[in-house]
Amino acid sequence: MPESTIEAGVKSSTVTTEVRGNVLLIGLNRPDKKNALTGEMFSALADAYKRYDSDDDLRCAVLYGEGGVFCAGADMTQLKELVESGALVYNEGEYDPFGMEGSRLSKPLISAVHGMCFAGGLELALAGEFIVAAEGTLFGQPEVLRGVFAFGGGAARWAERVGYANAQRYLLTGNHLDSTEAFRIGLVQEVVPAAELFDRALGLANEIAAAAPMGVHHSLAVSRIAAAEGTTAALKAVPQLRSEVVGSSDAAEGVASFLERRAGVYTGN
């Protein structure tokens, strides 16, 4: 993973950010604790997400983990306090890293995972658009074995990703699965050699960042409506979004670049 730099607005060195062109890299940086999530990290992630969503120059983000693993989940020694203190409650304008409350990212987030992707760490990854995994990564949603359940979005999102029965196979047992099985059932979308993970995730992020921002935004918006409310609701949202995009400068640039046989240069207008 890259050498990351602390950016303005991120409160904690346990979460790092770095800008690469139009891509924001967000790193979990508590490697000595397997990047186990703390209240400080949730707060810093929320700040990083807010910064990403509010900066028009940033068009895609990659979430990754420093050290030997992506994330082992929430720090169990702090979990009860986190919940009871209200630290995981988010209001409008605040960005829940689990994407359940408050404001949600309107731009794509790619999760690049390696080593271990468990519990709350897997829920962070599932809150993004898709997951790229290193070969040999282990996945698990073991909350039922620890007296709780996957309340960071996992209990809902697994079924969306892999289907109801596949979801229950792992949610109800807490069993682990490897990257090969995770790919087979659709939990992850690509598996690459560990040495290639960062470059592949960044490459995909750059491809997204090079596309027309309004087109990406509207594609994401319709897809999310379909996932949350069904195809009928998503189709009803299309006409208004279509009218917004067809008259845009980016749509004109798309036609021009096609006719001129070159890559489009998009501004988001």
Catalytic annotation, residues:
123, 143
* Cα–Cα nearest to 98, from 146, 144, 63: 63
Cα 47 to chain centroid distance, Å, stands at: 15
* N-to-C CA span, the chain: 33
